[in-house]
Amino acid sequence: MSELSTVARPYAKAAFDFAVEQGALQKWHEMLSFAAEVAQNQDVKTFLASATSLTRQGDVFVGICAEQLDEHGQNLIKVMASNKRLAALPEVLEMYTELRQAYEKEVTVEVTSAVTLDDAQQAKLSAALEKRLERKVKLNCSVEPSIVGGLLIQAGDLVIDSTLRSQLSRLASTLQS
């Protein structure tokens, strides 16, 4: 996976820089999202793995995505096809999204709780995280009853584990020492 990340980085950066220059961040996100979905289709993966010419691969891929890609998006696909990089499109999308979030000072935060958080709790948590992270926060909430209570919050490299399960584990290891 790290090899695809290395391959995807320059394409994501180029697409992002061009999108910023053109004021089309959302449009590029939509184009890359569609192209990444196409690249993950099993029939398309099989086609890309075949021994067909790289120009033909680019033309077929652009043909599939034709209405979803503008001229510049089609050029990106053709360049990636000529370099045998179409399989990296999902990673390009992921890196483009990270670049966009950093540019827009936005972060996606994964929140895991033992019970479903209501709207008021989510709003309060979001406000507190925005203050701490100094960014606009988008919450992705999930429920995991095994954590017993508390929250597990993940925002990039930051992890805040205030779950009852982890506190009990720390207490147990302290008692055993």
CATH class of 2-101: mainly alpha
| 166 strand-pairing partners | none
Note the pLDDT tens digit of each residue in 70-98: 999 999 999 998 898 888 999 999 999 99
> What number of CA atoms fall less than 13 Å from residue 44's CA on the CB side?
21
Does this chain's domain 2-101 share its CATH topology with 105-176?
A: no
Structure-token match 């779950």, residue found: 163
CATH topology of domain 105-176: Glutaredoxin (3.40.30)
Give the 3-state secondary structure of residue 41: coil
Residues 58, 78 contacting (CB under 8 angstroms): yes
Length of the chain (residues): 177
- Residue 1 confidence (pLDDT) above 70: no
Note the pLDDT tens digit of each residue in 25-59: 999 999 999 999 998 988 888 887 876 777 888 88
Q: Where are the domains of the chain?
A: 2-101, 105-176
